[in-house]
Structures are given as C-alpha cells and as structure tokens.
Structure 1
Amino acid sequence: MRKKVVAGLAVLFVLISGGIFYMVNLQKTSSGLDVKEEKLIKHGFRLLEEQLATYIKEHYSGVSKIEFSPIFIEGGKDNPPFTADIVPVVYDEEGNRAVLGTQIGNTGYPSYGNIANLDIDFDYAGNEFIYLKSSSKGLDVDINVSNQETLPEEAKIKTEIKGMDANIEALVKDGQLKNITKSEIGSPKAEINYNLEIKRGDYSTWK
C-alpha cells in the first residue's frame, strides 16, 4: 500500500510540475510572444549580434565600441509574416556614433534579422532550432548553433559582408565616422554591448 501511495504521489508531482511548466511557457510577455518564443528569439539574436560584432571588430581598425538596437519584431502567428530585425551601431575612437541600416543620400542599407541572416524555430520535439545563414565557410553556408551560448569559431564570418562594408564606407565618407578603415589588424580593444530587449515596431524608426 505504501509503495502505491508513493508511486501515486510521484505521478501527481510530475503532472503538476509539467502543468506549471506548460502554463509558464504559454504565458504571454509584454511583446505578445510566449515565454518560450521570446527565449528562442533572444538566444538566436544573441548569437547573430556576436557574429556581426565579431566581423566588425576583426575587420575594421579605429572602432571603439559596437552596440545594437533592441530586437524589433512585427507580425506573428495570427498576423504573418513574422519579422525580427536589429540595427548595429558603431563608435569611432573620437566618440562619434553611427547607425547602420539607414539611408545615406539616395542609398538604403540593410538591417539584420531573421529574413536574411538567421533561421529560428522549434523542431518537431519542441527544441530550439537556430541556424546562422553565414559561417566561416561562406555567406551562403549556414551553420547550426542551436546548442551554442556563444559564437563558435566556425561561425565567424571570414569573407566580405558587402552590404555592411559599403554601409561603413558610406558612413565614413559622410563624416559620421572618422578614421575607421578596413584592416586585418581590426580593433581588438573595441567594446561590444549586446541588446536582447524585444520591442514591437519598425526597426527603421530607431536612431
């Protein structure tokens, strides 16, 4: 009898724990996402931000700091398509600050997000599915980083990111940044500030 009672309590504990876990993960956050969805987005974009910041830090000299906008989301399950974008920000050694992904003159430059740079979803078992669409093997060679917390060496981009390079060059020519040049020396002392805040809205309005 005692064994049956213990077994029954164990089953009850598992059911209650599972129910609590299920309800917590279905709870909506201020962004309108489930807790589990928000966790996935933050995980994926933390890796994307590190990938982009590492490229700038290792390929440009004269950079003092790199930071990012919040993760701007639009759409969702009930209003597809879902998009999520971030905007990198670069500081030169004089303290000048410039936002990437805006328009300079008549030319518009890309943002970075789940359409062009990142695949995020859940697999059939409900596990996180995170692929960066570029890797050390090329801009069109994706890499599975689902189980990574920081950027692995094989996910560092070695080839040119032409859109970003053109954007930084335009910012220098426009005078928004000074003395930042493409260089193998890079900026090893550059500070990186990641931003995993999630907001609803249009990334292009962020300055």
Structure 2
Amino acid sequence: MKKKVSIIVLIVLVIAGGIGFMVYQSQGVGTILDAKGVKLYQHGFQLYEEQIATYIKENYSGVSKIEFSPIFVRGDGRYTMHTANIVPVLYDNNGNKAILGGTIGNRIYARYGLLHGISALDFDGADEEVIYLSDSATDQEIDVSKSKNLPKEAKITYDPEMDDNIEALVKDGQLKDVKKNKAGSPQVKVSYNIEIREGDYTKWRP
C-alpha cells in the first residue's frame, strides 16, 4: 500500500513539474530560470515595484496612474551576463504617459532592475531567498528577503536619480503638471506586473 502511495505521489510530482516547465518555456524563460528562480524574481520585483510606486505616490502630485512592464530577463549568467529589468510608466492627469529610464535629450537615465534598484537577488547556502533593495540616496542595501509586501524600512524618502528623470520628462513635454510635492497623488492607480519574459526591455513600449 505504501509503495502504491509513493508511486502516485511521484507521478503527481512529475506531472506538476512538467506542467511548470511548459509554463516557463511558454513565457520564453525556460532556458534562463527554473521554477525556483521564477518565484525568486517575481518576489524580488514585486517588492521593487512597490518601492518605486510608493515613492512616486507619496512625493509627486499630478500622477494619475503608474504601471509596470513585464520583467525582461536575458543571459544565462555563465557565458553572458544575466540581466533583469522593468520599465515603469507614468500617466499624468492630462492623459499623457512617459516611461522612466532611457534617453532624454543627450542624457541616458538609469535603468530599473537587477543591480539598479535591486542590489541582490539570489539564494544563500541554505537555499533561502536573498533579496536586497537599494536606497539610492544613502547607498544602503535593505534586506527584504522575508517580506511579502514592502516593509516600512524599505520605503525611500529621496531618490535623486528618479527625481532628475521625472523632471526631465516634464521639461521635455512628455508629462504635464507633474510636480515634486509632499501632498503626493493619493488616488493614483497602480498596475503591478510580475510576468517574466525573455527579451530586451528597451524595445518594450506601453
């Protein structure tokens, strides 16, 4: 009886693993991340997107919506550098939208992702998740490995790189009436995205 139960459990696990593999293959990341890696990346980027959205919501007026692109991963981490990036998108109250990052005028603004906002995304010796978010104003790394949602200590109060980026978008006319303001945009809608795709984040447009 015990042998039958063991065989049934094994069959279920094999089927579940096969389904999981097909799901990740269909997303185009099967050769880069396994099921455990997908879970890690989704957890880390969920917290990172919350950090970005919270900062904008609490420090900028005139924003009606914040949305995020899928998580774009590239490289195998062995022969080619392993990268993972997202594209945040801001909408103002006038119907305009603009992406953060990229080039405005002659300046290239920082990307958003692994090693640029997320300083660590890995497993430790006990196979536990290791996730650190960055505070660009203080150069500190904040351990959020055990957090389901953005903890208070991971909220940032000042982000000079993002501030410069948003100011440039306004000056360039891509956004209108978006201002640094402690009143913030409390009614802003946020559309998070933890879908993982293999590809070039710079080619994505909302």
Quickly name the TM-score band, shorter chain normalised: 0.7 to 0.9
- CA displacement, residues 74-106 of structure 1 (integer Å, 9 cap, x when unaligned): 102443321101111000011111111121111
* TM-score calculated relative to the size of structure 2: 0.85
> 1:168 pairs with 166, 169, 175, which one?
166
Deviates further, 15-24 or 48-57: 15-24
Could you say which residue in structure 2 is the equivalent of 1:44? Answer: 44
Contact 1:26 1:36 in 2 (8 A): no
CA distance in 2, matches of 1:92, 1:194: 17
Could you say which residue in structure 2 is the equivalent of 1:141? Answer: 140
Deviates further, 194-203 or 37-46: 194-203
> 1:188 pairs with 164, 183, 186, which one?
186
Q: How does 1:118-137 map to 2 (within 5 A)?
A: 118=118, 119-134=120-135
Could you say which residue in structure 2 is the equivalent of 1:27? Answer: 21
Name the CA shift for 1:75/1:90 in 2 (closer, same or farther; >3 Å): same
* TM-score calculated relative to the size of structure 1: 0.85
Unaligned stretches of 5+ in structure 1?
none
Task: Indicate whether 1:206 and 2:200 are aligned.
Answer: no
The percent identity for this pair of structures is: 49
Compute the displacement of 1:17 (Å): 8.7
Name the CA shift for 1:142/1:57 in 2 (closer, same or farther; >3 Å): same
Name the CA shift for 1:25/1:76 in 2 (closer, same or farther; >3 Å): farther
Contact 2:110 2:116 in 1 (8 A): no
Could you say which residue in structure 2 is the equivalent of 1:113? Answer: 113
CA distance in 1, matches of 2:62, 2:45: 25
Unaligned stretches of 5+ in structure 2?
none
Name the CA shift for 1:55/1:9 in 2 (closer, same or farther; >3 Å): same
Compute the displacement of 1:46 (Å): 0.3
Could you say which residue in structure 1 is the equivalent of 2:154? Answer: 155
CA distance in 2, matches of 1:148, 1:114: 18
Name the CA shift for 1:151/1:25 in 2 (closer, same or farther; >3 Å): farther
Compute the displacement of 1:16 (Å): 3.7
List structure 1 segments (4+ residues) > 4 angstroms apart after TM superposition.
17-26
Deviates further, 47-56 or 105-114: 105-114
Contact 2:135 2:159 in 1 (8 A): no
Compute the displacement of 1:25 (Å): 10
